[in-house]
Chain A
Amino acid sequence: MIRPSRDSILPGFRLATGYATTYLGLLVLLPLAAVAVTATSEGVGGFWSEVSKDRTLAAYRLSIVGALSAAAINATFGFIVAWALARYRFPGRGLLDALVDLPLALPTAVAGIALTAVYSQDHMLGRLLGKLGISVAYTNTGVLMAMLLVSLPFSVRIVMPVIEDLEPELEEAAASLGASAWTTFRTVVLPIVFPAILTGLALSFAKAVGEYGSIIFISSNMQGGSEIAPLLIMTRLEEHDEQAAASVAMGLLLLSLLVLLTVNALQAWSRRRHAA
Chain B
Amino acid sequence: MTLMPDSASIPRTLPASAAHPRESPRARAHAAGTSGNGIVRALLIGLSALFLLVMVALPLLAVAAEAFRSGVGTLIEILKEPHVASAFGRTAVTAAIAVPLSIVFGIAAAWSIAKFEWRGKAVLAALIDLPLTVSPVIVGLSLVLLLGARGWLGPTLATVGIDVIFALPGIVLATAFVTVPLVARELIPLMESQSRHEEEAALSLGASGWSTFLRVTLPNIRWGLLYGSVLCAARAIGEFGAVWVVSGHISGQTETVPLLIESLYGEYRFDSAASLAALLVAFTIVSVGIRHALQARELHRRGGHH
Contact = CB atoms under 8 A, between A and B. Distances in A.
Contacts of A86: 22, 27, 30
Contact of B134 (A104, A148, A253): A253
Contacts of B285: 102
B273 A113 contact: yes
Contacts of A181: 34, 36-37, 40
Contact of A109 (B33, B180, B238): B238
Contact of A124 (B62, B152, B274): B62
A132 interface: no
B133 A117 contact: no
Interface residues on A, range: 35 or more
Contact of A28 (B15, B108, B127, B291): B127
Interface of A is mostly: helix
B276 to A, nearest CB: 9
A24 B180 contact: yes
B162 interface: no
A3 interface: yes
A96 to B, nearest CB: 5
Contact of A110 (B2, B261, B291): B261
B29 A28 contact: no
Interface residues on B, range: 35 or more
Interface of B is mostly: helix
Contacts of A108: 136, 238-241, 258
Interface in A100-120: 100-118
Contacts of A71: none
B158 interface: no
B192 to A, nearest CB: 9
B35 interface: yes
A99 B57 contact: yes
B241 A206 contact: no
Contacts of B51: 77, 80-81
A101 B112 contact: no
A85 to B, nearest CB: 7
27 contacts: A6-B116, A10-B203, A15-B108, A16-B112, A20-B124, A24-B124, A31-B139, A80-B51, A83-B48, A84-B45, A96-B49, A101-B288, A106-B280, A110-B63, A110-B258, A110-B277, A117-B274, A164-B27, A165-B2, A168-B33, A212-B135, A230-B135, A233-B141, A249-B137, A252-B138, A253-B138, A267-B7
Interface of B: 1-5, 7, 10-16, 20, 22, 24, 26-31, 33-37, 40-41, 44-45, 47-49, 51-53, 55-60, 62-63, 65-66, 104-105, 107-109, 111-112, 115-118, 124, 127-128, 130-139, 141-147, 150-152, 173, 176-177, 180, 195-196, 199-200, 203-204, 209, 212-213, 231, 234-235, 237-241, 244-245, 258-259, 261-262, 265, 273-274, 277, 280-281, 284-285, 287-289, 291-292
